[in-house]
């Protein structure tokens, strides 16, 4: 185990029904693959208790919570105070995921923008990283992130990055991180790989977004945290690094951004 390069799956959804009754095996497989930590993401705040319970029951699992942009019109609007209160839990390490999705839910763009700004304020006040979902909304996303950053800095990761090069540059210029998912491993995703290659390797994380976006050879099947190692292997190629060096770099990056998770692990 100690000879396997260690990485963190910075974004997965272990509360989804795809994993019902299998979490012990899934987490064990992840650890055998060198995935020593996982951040499971709550996308509707009413589900926070069940997501929290997963983190409490499994030592390698941390969690974050927010309102997903595709759910923003269906869920009660989160409040800054509500998010700050949730953030008091020792294994709560990020705000979100939040963001903008105009691909499926452009009709709710106004409430999405309002929700996003609430989450940004909570990230600023707690110091926890904002976890951003962005799809077909590059211009509005860049504008809001920049406008809010001018009001006061906050940490942020662009989760499952597959948007354009301009938004990536804006994010990096603001000091944010880009997270590489299985999308970056797909044969037709050269443009996405090129965007990552143009970014500083010190700002790169890896994730699965499980149960979605499984990398080859599992594409089209259920994704799981162990497979983040397959994405990280492609990431190493993108940056011209050997796998152990790239894995170590992403671990350092995760620890820098998700400092609360790093401190918890050290305390343990």
User: What CATH number is given to the structural domain containing 23?
Assistant: 3.20.20.140
202 lies in some domain: yes
257 lies in some domain: yes
- Taking the C-alpha atoms of residue 235 and residue 253, their distance in angstroms, rounded to an integer, is 14
251 lies in some domain: yes
Domain residue limits at 156: 7-267
205 lies in some domain: yes
Question: What pLDDT, on a 0 to 100 scale, did the predictor assign at position 265?
Answer: 73
1 lies in some domain: no
2 lies in some domain: no
The count of domains in the chain is 1
159 lies in some domain: yes
Question: What pLDDT, on a 0 to 100 scale, did the predictor assign at position 3?
Answer: 86
218 lies in some domain: yes
**Which three-class secondary structure state does DSSP give residue 7?**
strand
pTM: 0.97
- The end-to-end CA distance of the chain, in Å, is 19
Residue 31 confidence (pLDDT) above 80? yes
Question: What pLDDT, on a 0 to 100 scale, did the predictor assign at position 268?
Answer: 67
Instruction: Give the pair of three-digit tokens for residue 47.
Output: 């589900």
- The residues, ordered by sequence, that sit 6+ positions from 3 with a Cβ below 8 Å of its Cβ are none
- The residues, ordered by sequence, that sit 6+ positions from 65 with a Cβ below 8 Å of its Cβ are 41, 42, 45, 48, 51, 52, 83, 86, 92, 95, 96
Residue 117 confidence (pLDDT) above 90? yes
Query: What does the pLDDT look like over 147-200, one tens digit per residue?
Result: 999 999 999 999 999 999 999 999 999 999 999 999 999 999 999 999 999 999
């Amino acid at each position: 185990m100690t000879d396997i390069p260690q990485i963190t799956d910075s974004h997965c959804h272990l509360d989804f029904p795809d994993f019902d009754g299998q979490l012990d095996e899934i987490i064990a497989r992840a650890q055998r693959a060198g995935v020593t930590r996982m951040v499971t993401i709550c996308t509707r705040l009413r589900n926070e208790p069940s997501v929290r319970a997963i983190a409490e029951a499994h030592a390698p699992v941390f969690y974050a919570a927010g309102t997903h942009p595709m759910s923003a019109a269906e869920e009660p609007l989160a409040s800054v105070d509500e998010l700050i209160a949730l953030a008091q839990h020792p294994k709560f390490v990020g705000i979100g995921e939040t963001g903008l999705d105009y691909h499926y839910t452009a009709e709710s763009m106004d409430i999405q923008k309002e929700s996003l700004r609430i989450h940004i304020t909570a990230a600023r006040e707690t110091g926890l990283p904002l976890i951003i979902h962005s799809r077909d909304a590059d211009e509005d996303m860049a504008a809001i992130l920049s406008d809010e950053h001018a009001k006061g800095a906050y940490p942020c990761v662009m989760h499952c990055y597959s948007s354009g090069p301009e938004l990536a540059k804006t994010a990096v210029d603001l000091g944010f991180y880009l997270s590489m998912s299985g999308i970056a491993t797909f044969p037709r995703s050269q443009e996405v790989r090129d965007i990552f290659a143009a970014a500083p390797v010190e700002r790169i994380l890896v994730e699965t977004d499980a149960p979605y976006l499984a990398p080859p050879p599992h594409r089209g099947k259920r994704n799981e945290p162990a497979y983040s190692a397959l994405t990280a292997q492609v990431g190493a190629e993108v940056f011209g690094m050997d796998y152990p060096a790239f894995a170590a770099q992403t671990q350092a990056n995760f620890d820098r951004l998700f400092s609360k998770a790093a401190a918890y692990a050290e305390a343990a």
